[in-house]
Amino acid sequence: MARLRTGRAEDEELVTLVEHDACGVDAVQVLTGCTFGKGNFFFRDYGKHVYTVARRSDGKAGISAKPKRRGEGEPASKDERSRRMLVAPLDELFDIQEVPLELPERASIHDSVQCDTCGEPTMATRVRDAGGKRLCVPCSETGLK
């Protein structure tokens, strides 16, 4: 955030891409203000602890933070690593670099339609046609036609 010279996102002025779904992602949402609900938080299921944050205002490249590899002399226990993370400078913990990034489109709002089977409101762009019935994804996949 310091390298981007910005604060938390109030709307969509920042975009964040994360490449895993572990607990660190929660902290990234708190720090950046980016969320799925705002449409400026994106998940790529690569299984890597990589976080990329970019400003929309100038279309500049994002800042990507990747944990540095653990080397010899690194604390072995989880408690010791946690304590170190709280006091160590960021450049000791992360490889932070500017990366080229094609920004995702801004969030769009879609109408909801009722699933003909379960009755739940479903985003219109996610409804599937099954023999003339409008079905949500779970109903279409379970054969509840």
> Is 9 inside any structural domain?
no
**Kindly report the CA angle at 80 between 65 and 72, in degrees rounded to 5?**
70
Q: Which residue range is the domain that position 116 belongs to?
A: 112-142
Distance CA 65, CA 19 (A): 11
Q: The domain that contains 126 carries what CATH number?
A: 3.30.60
pTM score: 0.70
Whether 125 and 59 map to the same domain: the answer is: no
Distance CA 101, CA 15 (A): 10
Which of 135, 137, 111 has its CA nearest to residue 124?
Answer: 111
Whether 91 and 125 map to the same domain: the answer is: no
Whether 37 and 91 map to the same domain: the answer is: yes
The string of pLDDT tens digits covering residues 53-112 is 988 887 666 777 777 776 666 767 888 878 888 888 888 888 888 888 888 888 888 899
Q: The domain that contains 25 carries what CATH number?
A: 3.30.1330.20
Looking at the 3D structure of the chain, how many domains does it have?
2
Distance CA 102, CA 89 (A): 29
- Bridge pairing between strands 128-130 and 94-99: unpaired
